[in-house]
Amino acid sequence: MKRILASLLGMYAFCVLTTADSAQLILRPDATNLTTTSNLSRYPASGGYADKIWEETADNDATYIYVTGASSGVGSFDLSDHTTQAGVINSVTAYWRYRGTATGGRTYVIFDLLGYSSQSATRTLNTYWTTWSFTVNQRPGGGSWTWGNIDDMTLYVMLKSPTDGTQARCTQAWVVVDYTPPTPTPTNTPTVTPTATQTPCHAPMEYEIGSLSIDSPQASNDDGWMIRVTTTNDSGNVGGGTVYDKENVSSYSIQWPMFKGNALRTGLSAYEGPSIGALAWSYAAEYIYSSPAIGSDGRVYVGSYDDRLYAFTSAGGLAWSYATGAFILSSPAIGSDGRVYVGSYDDRLYAFTSAGGLAWSYAAAADIHSSPAIGSDGRVYIGSRDNRLYALTSAGGLAWSYAAAAGIHSSPAIGSDGRVYVGSYDDRIYALTSAGGLAWSYAAAADIHSSPAIGSDGRVYVGSYDDRLYAFTSAGGLAWSYAAEYIYSSPAIGSDGRVYVGSYDDRLYAFTSAGGLAWSYATDEDINSSPAIGSDGRVYVGSYDARLYAFTSAGGLAWSYATGYIYSSPAIGSDGRVYVGSNDKNVYSFGDAALQSNAKVVLTKGTEDIAITSPYTFTVGEKTVYLPDLPPAP
């Protein structure tokens, strides 16, 4: 989600325009409206902020809010309650008018509803005034708008100036609620419930490509044989020469059992991810902020805005789904017994059997955005917006809880000594003993949504909205910090101790364990997604610019793939695939070689190649996957 600023109560002036079929409620900030701001200034300096942008007719450079000096600023404007308006809300649109004193600055607006947000595309500032709009048909967090949502909604305006000595300005902002007034409703109207559908890829997409061994009449079981797959993708790009050691057979352990891959939240996989990034399959559900988890059988679990937890086969088929009482932003975790745990915005933590049956659920006192972590003893740890971190037994009983001073959206990490680390919207990171006592805490200067990651030396890394990545010793001392921009992303730690994290300044950063900058890479939008690291050092992360990126360990771009904008964090499977959700409503699976009818599959040993004639089988882990006839190898 986008950065949420504490909002002060205020009032909006409004008017209502009505046509034959619909009406529009127009909301403007009153001159007496109170706002919260971060790094914003106003012109003239007298008066408030809201009165600089309230006017019905734009006065441009006469009054405005602004940010200067190659920095970012955010202002929030509250909406008052509606009065007598009623009916079905069709859409809510924000309008804002902006310019820069030089080109290259940026601006966007955010609708915030009780901690959920919908953000517009980022606009580039020109030196002339421009009015732009952003329409949201569904409320932030999913579902139809209600008039209560209008009462609770806050509008944020973000400005970023391009360079020192320049300004990014906004002179006008207002909101239009388009609605259809009540009409008589026919009785016995059938209701059609949409269902998620699988997006088919090529016919051979069910084939496993990853760490492989082979059983074929053309080859004995002598050591040294490998498999090479060469394929042409839909765009005509050749992804060739990928070699898989036939002896490198993956174990049947859980592959990526929870958010960031493990309870330490390092984001480090024991497997290599794809070097090419060919689409294996996708499945359409609803907006997917949740991050996938991967079970020992290759099943992929992820939550969705349609209130459901989904379980997919490794081939992309729907195994099962379960409807909770509200949308799911939490990322699932898989226990050693195959149980799947996930939080929901209906205030509950759910535990499911591997077959999709409900084992139990636990009710918190507010919604659950946090993702569960599972300890070595089977305990499940999760935060809630009711300010508490919960420790639950594997049977669903409360072991203990700890109260912070504000909501907990951060996902807990568990150290090798059993300590539990979590961030809070009270600006603190907490270290708790396995019994629930406070070991230490550290106050940052703003909210901590980022989830801690724990290094092999016990250091704890976490980001904050105060524009810093922090590194703490296991005793709670500050080892180092690095200034970027709002850090929602959760850090990942490589096998060499490097720390990777995304930032609102559009960059993925790589730091040495001592806090030095190793490299950074600029995408075109904010990075809220948290990185995943393959065993070969390749780093995968999503961006708000609607792409999944793969980087070499040295910071070079290996590949990228266009999706919708990505908050979800990638997961790496033992099949060599990367799985991620997107706000284009799809969950994606990417591999090295999506076999097609024009694929060439050969055995190779040294300089000797043997083309494989079908039929033949690949063995992946303890599974044998049969491939039917392909055309003869070219």
- pLDDT category of residue 449 using cuts at 50, 70 and 90: very high
Rounded distance, CA 550 to CA 541, Å?
A: 7
- pLDDT category of residue 196 using cuts at 50, 70 and 90: very low
364 and 279 part of one domain: yes
- The whole-angstrom distance between residue 114's C-alpha and the CA centroid of its chain comes to 18
What pLDDT, on a 0 to 100 scale, did the predictor assign at position 20? 47
Has residue 600 been placed in a domain? Answer: no
What is the signed CA dihedral for 274, 276, 279, 281, rounded to 10 degrees? -20
Rounded to an integer, the average pLDDT of 79-103 is: 86
Rounded to an integer, the average pLDDT of 456-466 is: 94
65 and 102 part of one domain: yes
% of the chain with per-residue pLDDT over 90: 51
**Angle at the Cα of 327 from the Cα atoms of 523 and 436, rounded to 5 degrees:** 90
Sheet holding 398-403, edge to edge: 373-374, 380-383, 388-392, 398-403
Strand-pair category, 72-78 with 123-124: unpaired
127 and 64 part of one domain: yes
Task: Using the predicted structure, report yes or no on whether residue 621 has a pLDDT greater than 50.
Answer: no
Average pLDDT of the chain is: 79
Rounded to an integer, the average pLDDT of 29-39 is: 63
Task: Using the predicted structure, report yes or no on whether residue 152 has a pLDDT greater than 60.
Answer: yes
- pLDDT category of residue 434 using cuts at 50, 70 and 90: very high
150 and 203 part of one domain: no
Return the sign of the alpha-carbon dihedral for residues 482, 527, 545, 300. Answer: positive
Rounded distance, CA 205 to CA 315, Å?
A: 7
What pLDDT, on a 0 to 100 scale, did the predictor assign at position 149? 87
What pLDDT, on a 0 to 100 scale, did the predictor assign at position 30? 62
Number of residues that make up the chain: 634
- pLDDT category of residue 605 using cuts at 50, 70 and 90: very low
Q: Pick left, alpha or beta for residue 583 (phi over 0 → left; psi -120 to 50 → alpha; otherwise beta).
A: alpha
Rounded to an integer, the average pLDDT of 309-317 is: 93
**Angle at the Cα of 59 from the Cα atoms of 54 and 62, rounded to 5 degrees:** 100
Residue 481, both tokens: 């910090």
Task: Using the predicted structure, report yes or no on whether residue 191 has a pLDDT greater than 70.
Answer: no
Has residue 596 been placed in a domain? Answer: no
Provide the CB-side half-sphere exposure for 456 (13 A, CA): 8
**Angle at the Cα of 233 from the Cα atoms of 536 and 565, rounded to 5 degrees:** 70
The answer for residues whose C-beta is within 8 angstroms of residue 53's C-beta and 6 or more apart is 29, 63, 64, 65, 96, 157, 170, 171, 172, 173
% of the chain with per-residue pLDDT over 70: 77
Rounded distance, CA 449 to CA 410, Å?
A: 5
SS3 7: coil
What pLDDT, on a 0 to 100 scale, did the predictor assign at position 31? 54
Residue 97, both tokens: 């008018």
Q: What share of the chain is helix, strand, coil (3-state, %, to 5)?
A: 5, 45, 55
**pLDDT higher at 212 or 524:** 524
502 and 424 part of one domain: yes
431 and 574 part of one domain: yes
Rounded distance, CA 8 to CA 116, Å?
A: 17
Rounded distance, CA 150 to CA 308, Å?
A: 25
Task: Using the predicted structure, report yes or no on whether residue 569 has a pLDDT greater than 80.
Answer: yes
139 and 281 part of one domain: no
What pLDDT, on a 0 to 100 scale, did the predictor assign at position 124? 82
Rounded distance, CA 538 to CA 536, Å?
A: 6
**pLDDT higher at 237 or 82:** 82
CATH code, 306: 2.130.10.10
Rounded to an integer, the average pLDDT of 587-601 is: 60
pLDDT tens readout for residues 351-402: 999 999 999 999 999 999 999 999 988 999 999 999 999 999 999 999 999 9
CA distances for 403 relative to 432, 436, 449, 537, angstroms:
11, 10, 16, 38
Phi, psi of 560 (to 5 degrees): -145, 160
158 and 270 part of one domain: no
Q: Which domain holds residue 502?
A: 198-211+250-591
Has residue 244 been placed in a domain? Answer: no
Phi, psi of 76 (to 5 degrees): -115, 140
What pLDDT, on a 0 to 100 scale, did the predictor assign at position 531? 97
Has residue 304 been placed in a domain? Answer: yes
What pLDDT, on a 0 to 100 scale, did the predictor assign at position 15? 52
Residue 356, both tokens: 């999709």
**pLDDT higher at 294 or 102:** 294
- pLDDT category of residue 436 using cuts at 50, 70 and 90: very high
Strand-pair category, 600-605 with 539-543: unpaired
Neighbours of 519 (CB within 10 A): 17
Task: Using the predicted structure, report yes or no on whether residue 92 has a pLDDT greater than 50.
Answer: yes
Residue 317, both tokens: 């088929």
Return the sign of the alpha-carbon dihedral for residues 182, 96, 79, 119. Answer: positive
Which residues are bridge partners to 609 per DSSP?
604
Residue 551, both tokens: 């980087």
Q: Which pTM value belongs to this model?
A: 0.61
Task: Using the predicted structure, report yes or no on whether residue 626 has a pLDDT greater than 60.
Answer: no
317 and 405 part of one domain: yes
pLDDT tens readout for residues 465-506: 999 999 999 999 999 999 998 899 999 999 899 999 999 999
pLDDT tens readout for residues 523-551: 999 999 999 999 889 999 999 999 999 99
175 and 254 part of one domain: no
Task: Using the predicted structure, report yes or no on whether residue 252 has a pLDDT greater than 70.
Answer: no
DSSP code at position 530? P
**pLDDT higher at 83 or 216:** 83
CA neighbor of 577 nearest in space, from 563, 587, 566, 586: 587
Has residue 239 been placed in a domain? Answer: no
What pLDDT, on a 0 to 100 scale, did the predictor assign at position 36? 64
What pLDDT, on a 0 to 100 scale, did the predictor assign at position 241? 32
SS3 226: strand
Has residue 36 been placed in a domain? Answer: yes
Residue 69, both tokens: 């000096």
SS3 157: strand
174 and 205 part of one domain: no
Rounded distance, CA 157 to CA 86, Å?
A: 27
Rounded distance, CA 248 to CA 620, Å?
A: 9
CATH code, 130: 2.60.120.430
**pLDDT higher at 619 or 394:** 394
CA neighbor of 99 nearest in space, from 122, 70, 74, 124: 124
Task: Using the predicted structure, report yes or no on whether residue 174 has a pLDDT greater than 60.
Answer: yes
Has residue 528 been placed in a domain? Answer: yes
Residue type, 446: A
Task: Using the predicted structure, report yes or no on whether residue 250 has a pLDDT greater than 80.
Answer: no
Q: Kindly report which listed range (184-188, 220-224, 325-329, 585-589) carries the lowest average pLDDT score.
A: 220-224
DSSP code at position 503? -
What pLDDT, on a 0 to 100 scale, did the predictor assign at position 227? 42
- pLDDT category of residue 16 using cuts at 50, 70 and 90: low
pLDDT tens readout for residues 97-115: 899 998 888 888 888 877 6
CA neighbor of 287 nearest in space, from 301, 299, 303: 303
What pLDDT, on a 0 to 100 scale, did the predictor assign at position 237? 30
Task: Using the predicted structure, report yes or no on whether residue 253 has a pLDDT greater than 70.
Answer: no
**pLDDT higher at 610 or 318:** 318
295 and 366 part of one domain: yes
Domain end point (choices 591, 609, 624): 591
Rounded distance, CA 429 to CA 432, Å?
A: 10
Rounded distance, CA 488 to CA 577, Å?
A: 25
Domain count, the chain: 2
Q: Contact 149/155 with Cβ under 8 angstroms?
A: no
Has residue 614 been placed in a domain? Answer: no
Which helix (H) or strand (E) element contains residue 438? strand 438-443
Sheet holding 532-533, edge to edge: 532-533, 539-543, 547-551, 557-562
Residue 79, both tokens: 């909406």
What pLDDT, on a 0 to 100 scale, did the predictor assign at position 595? 39
Residue 19, both tokens: 């046509």
